[in-house]
Amino acid sequence: MNKKEILLKALEDMIKIRIIEENISKEFKKNKVLSFLHLSIGQEACATGVAFGTKAQDNFFGNHRSHGHYLAKGGNISRMIYEVFGDNRGCCSGHGGSMHMLDKNVNFLGSVPILGSSLPIASGIAMSEKLKKKNNLTIVFIGDGSAEEGSFYETLNMAGLYKLPLLIVIEDNKYAVESDKFKRKVNGYDFKSIIEKGLKANYNRVDGQDFLKVFDASKKLRKKILKDKSVGVLHLDCLRFSKHSGAEISTKDQKSKYRKNEYFEIIKKDPIKILKQNIIRTGMSLIQIEKIINKLQKKYNKIFYTTFNKINIKKV
C-alpha cells in the first residue's frame, strides 16, 4: 500500500471506531444499560496507528478501554456489539461485557480491566510465542495510570530478563479516572530515563493524536524489538473525549475543573481532523475526503444497527 492508501484505510478504521462507539453511547443511554462503559473516542489514532505499524501475526492484549484496540485489530464487530449489550452471542458469550474483548481469529487475545494486570499476562503471551519460535510481537495497551503500578516496572525488568518480544503502549490521556497525572507523579518524573537507562528498554514518545506519528513509531519499534530482542515502550500523548466511564460524551466534562478546560484542545486535536490534513497533503481535496467520510459513516451506522436491532435488551 502507498501512503495515500494507508491513510485512507486508517481513516476507515478510525471512522469505524468512532461511529460504533457513538452508537453504543446513544443506545446505552436510551436503553438504560448500566454496565461499565469506557469509550475510546478521541484516542482512535493510538489504536489504529499501532495496528497499522505492526503485523497481523502480532498479538494485542487490552485493558478496560479496548473497543478501539479490538476494532483496529479487525475484531468481529457484531460479536463486540452483542458483548457490550450483554447478549450471549457476544465475543465472551455475554459473561464479560464491555471491558472484556476477545477475538482469537485476529490475534486479539483478550482485555482485562484491572490496572497493571494486563502487563505481566501479555509478557506471558510473548513468552509463549518465543517458546514456540514465532517471530512476532505481543502488544499490550495500558493507560498512564497503569504505568504507575508496580507491575509496570516488574514487567519491564522481567520481560527484559527473558528477552521477550513485548511492546507496551502507554496511552497517556493525562487522567486516571479523574485524577490529574501531575497530582500523582513526583515533580520531574522521567519515563525516558527510567525505561531507557534504568530498565534498558526501548522508549519512544510521540503525539498519539496523529495517526502518522503513531504508525511510524510503532513500525520502527517493532523492528527494533525483534532485532535487538529487547522490550519496547511506546508512549502516546492523547486526549480522552469521553468521561472516564459511562455512556455520556460530555462537553461539560471536557470543560470541567479537573480537566482544566480541555475542551478547546479536544476541538483542535481531533485525530480524525489531523488525519484529514495528512490526506490532503497527498493531493486529495477536503470535499473528496468528506464524501468518503459520509459514506463510511452510513456504512458503519448500518452495520451497527443491523446487529443492534437483533438484540432485545430487556430480554437479555
Partner 1 sequence: MKFTEAIKLATIRTLKEDKKCLLFGLEITNEGNGFIEKFPNQVFETPVSELSSTGLVVGLASRGFKPIIVYGRIEFALLAFDQILTQAGRWEYMFGGNYSCPAKFRIQIGRQWGNGPQHTANYHSVFMQAVEIDIFIPSTPSEAYNQILYMSKSKNPSVLLEHRYLNLLDEDFKIEKKIKKISTSKVYGNKKDNIVIITYADTLPIALKAKDILEINNIFPTILNLSFFPKNQRISNKDISFINKFKNILLVDSSPYDFGILSGVQSILSLHLQNKNFYKLSSPNIPAPSSPMLMHKYYVNKNNIVNYVCKILKRKNITLSKVSFEESILWPNFSINKYFK
Which residues are near partner 1 by CB under 8 A? Answer: 90-96, 100, 102, 104, 109-110, 112, 114, 116-117, 119-129, 131, 150-151, 154-155, 157-158, 161-162
CA dihedral 41, 311, 306, 244 (to 10 degrees): 0
In angstroms, give the least distance from the CB of 79 to partner 1.
10
25 versus 230: smaller Cβ distance to partner 1: 230
In angstroms, give the least distance from the CB of 98 to partner 1.
12
Count of other CB atoms within 10 angstroms of residue 270: 18
103 versus 237: smaller Cβ distance to partner 1: 103
126 versus 249: smaller Cβ distance to partner 1: 126
71 versus 126: smaller Cβ distance to partner 1: 126
Amino acid at the residue 220: K
Contact residues for 288 (Cβ-Cβ < 8 A; gap 6+): none
In angstroms, give the least distance from the CB of 151 to partner 1.
5
In angstroms, give the least distance from the CB of 126 to partner 1.
8
In angstroms, give the least distance from the CB of 305 to partner 1.
24
**What span, in angstroms and rounded, lies between the C-alpha atoms of 141 and 125?**
14
In angstroms, give the least distance from the CB of 95 to partner 1.
5
Per DSSP bridges, beta strands 175-176 and 166-172 are unpaired
Sheet holding 108-111, edge to edge: 108-111, 59-62, 138-143, 166-172, 232-237, 202-207
Residue 250, CA distances (Å) to 92, 100, 245 in order:
29, 24, 11
38 versus 240: smaller Cβ distance to partner 1: 38
DSSP summary character for residue 198: I
Q: What is the dihedral sign for C-alpha 60, 64, 70, 72?
A: negative
7 versus 122: smaller Cβ distance to partner 1: 122
Amino acid at the residue 146: S
